[in-house]
Amino acid sequence: MQDTANKNTFTLTNNQTEETYTYNILEGTRGPSVLDIRTFFADTGLFTYDPGFTATAACTSTITFIDGKKGELRYRGIAIEDLAEHHSYLETCFLLLNKRLPSKEELNDFDLEIRHRAYLHRGLQKLFDAFPDDAHPMATLSAAVTALASFYDEHIEIQNEEAYLEMAHRIISKIPTIAAFAYRQSLGIPFIEPDIDLSFTKNFLTMMRAYPGGKMHLCANGHEEIKDVEVRALDTIFTLHADHEQNASTTVVRGVASTGAHPYVAISSGIAALWGRAHGGANESVIAQLEYIGSVDKVEAFIEKAKDPNDDFRLMGFGHRVYKNFDPRAKILKELQDELREELNLDTELMAIARKIEEIALSDEYFVSRNLYPNIDFYTGIILTALQIPKTMFTPIFVIGRTVGWITQWIEFKKDETSKIARPRQLYTGK
């Protein structure tokens, strides 16, 4: 029982027993305060019921702050708009891991280390052969990251800061190689090894698109060099995906961390959770849905379908659990999409369908009253299509960006002395 005279408390009355219980209200630096109910079951004999954790804070964190009503997103206190405009993805990775942006020299060292760690053990490369030619790259990616754990056993017991960072740098660096290999495996074509002369993002595009031994690239409409504008757009997409506080896949990563499993196994579980259409898989579904709609004149019928309470059809790329205003990442990507319109030939039928959906949904009472705005996946789907990246690689690209967030959250969990194994309760309604 807490001091009832204290204003930072919350008193609850059980009307069945007329007993009252008082709990502390915890104040963060920003965002809603949190009721500390850690002793609730011991005090009252009751569990709390909150499917989908819509009102439950499961940890404290200093990594990412979101104000869903205002449409605000910050990594380590820095606004996402600032990071997207003035900093690279690698600077963002350094920021998440080290709680501050790097100096020029620190960035050079970090960049060099990430380039050098991008190679995969030859034993691991054999794993890719086990997958069928048309395997989805997310399946291969998740399996390969689990396999990676067996090459770096030492990361299961990390004792100091240096070892935490080595473990984190290793996975950030190798994920693009694994994703590119998974893609090439799905096409049945030989792998392109990482090139330490190339930046993080250009290296990934090259490993994905280059012909073996040459500078030509596999593109839908011929063989082209990778353009700077493509590298810049993809780097921005990586930055916007870098972290997003306690989303579904991060919650999975923390849950696996809580059991003491290897950090790369936790990342592999995060990859599996991200794959779903309600989460990171939405970017692939957005384009599949636009292709299915097929032409601008059919858009209105699909909007009506999405609004029908008796139809489970949903507009992919719309809505968000936390943002009840425009997703700030979507705003940045909408601007990027407009900038890229001329340079990347965005004026296709698919883009016209997307624009029509966006226009109707933003003014339709059903979407407006439910705060259903286009989310990040709506625009990444469109931009990645313009970059001639195949649909099956959209979610692996989300994985590349998010790996730093997952691993930073894993480290935070491990360092937090209040962390406990994740073990929710239930309301039993069976026999």
Provide the minimum distance between the beta carbon of 314 and ligand ACO in the complex, in angstroms, as a whole number.
Answer: 4
| CB count in 10 Å sphere of residue 202 | 17
Closest separation between CB of residue 101 and ligand ACO, Å?
25
415 binds ligand ACO (CB under 6 A): no
Site for ligand ACO in 185-224 (CB under 6 A): none
Nearer to ligand ACO by Cβ, of 314 and 414: the residue is 314
Size of the site for ligand ACO (CB under 6 A): 18
Q: Cα dihedral sign for 339, 344, 349, 351?
A: negative
- CB 317 → ligand ACO: shortest distance, Å? 5
Nearer Cβ to ligand ACO (169/334)? 334
Q: Whole-angstrom Cα distance, residue 2 to residue 74?
A: 34
Q: How far is CA 72 from the centre of its chain?
A: 16
Residue closer to ligand ACO, measured from CB, 24 or 246 = 246
Q: In sequence order, what are the residues at sequence separation of 6 or more whose Cβ sits closer than 8 angstroms to the Cβ of residue 176?
A: 118, 200, 203, 204, 207, 400
- Out of 243, 245, 358, 377, name the contact with ligand ACO by CB under 6 A: 377
CB contact set of 178 (below 8 Å; sequence gap of 6+): 120, 140, 141, 144, 145, 148
Closer to ligand ACO by CB, 182 or 372: give it. Answer: 372
Which amino acid is it at 246?
A: Q
What's the closest the beta carbon of residue 334 comes to ligand ACO, in angstroms? Answer: 15
Which positions ≥6 away from 255 have C-beta within 8 Å?
Answer: 269, 422
List of residues 6+ apart from 362 with CB closer than 8 A? 368, 373, 374
SS3 379: helix
- Decide if 243 is catalytic: no
Separation of alpha carbons 271 and 141, rounded Å: 8
Q: Which residue is nearest to ligand ACO (CB)?
A: 319
Q: How far is the CB of 270 from ligand ACO (least distance, A)?
A: 12
Q: At its nearest, how many Å lie between ligand ACO and the CB of residue 63? A: 17
Spot the catalytic one: 320, 338, 347, 364.
320
- Of 230 and 243, CB closest to ligand ACO: 243
**Phi, psi of 316, deg, nearest 5:** -70, 140
Helix, strand, coil in percent for the chain, rounding step 5: 55, 10, 40
Binding to ligand ACO by CB under 6 A, coded x per residue (else -) over 356-375, reads: --------------x-x--x
How near is the Cβ of 95 to ligand ACO at its closest, in Å?
A: 20
Q: How far is the CB of 32 from ligand ACO (least distance, A)?
A: 17
Closest CA relative to residue 241, chosen from 388, 94, 53, 377: 377
Residue 275 CA neighbour count, 13 Å, CB half: 16
Rounded Cα gap, residues 74 and 82, in angstroms:
9
Write out the DSSP string of 24-62: EEE--SSS--EE--TTHHHHHS-----GGGTT------S
Pick the closer one to ligand ACO by CB: 357 or 386. 357
Contact 269, 149 (CB under 8 A): no
Instruction: Give, as ranges, the residues between 331 and 360 that touch ligand ACO (CB under 6 A).
Output: none
SS3 277: coil
Give Cα separations from 307 to 193, 303, 304, 314, 372 (angstroms): 48, 6, 5, 8, 11
155: annotated active-site residue: no
Kindly identify the residues of this chain, within the stretch 266-325, that bind ligand ACO according to CB under 6 A.
278-280, 282, 306, 314-321
Assess 376 for contact with ligand ACO (CB under 6 A).
Answer: yes
What's the Cα-to-Cα distance from 413 to each of 26, 30, 266, rounded to whole Å?
Answer: 19, 20, 12
Given the complex with ligand ACO, which of 109 and 304 has the nearer CB atom?
304
Complex with ligand ACO: residue 318 or 410, whichever CB lies closer: 318
Task: Give the residues lining the site for ligand ACO (CB under 6 A).
Answer: 278-280, 282, 306, 314-321, 370, 372, 375-377
Active site residues: 320, 377
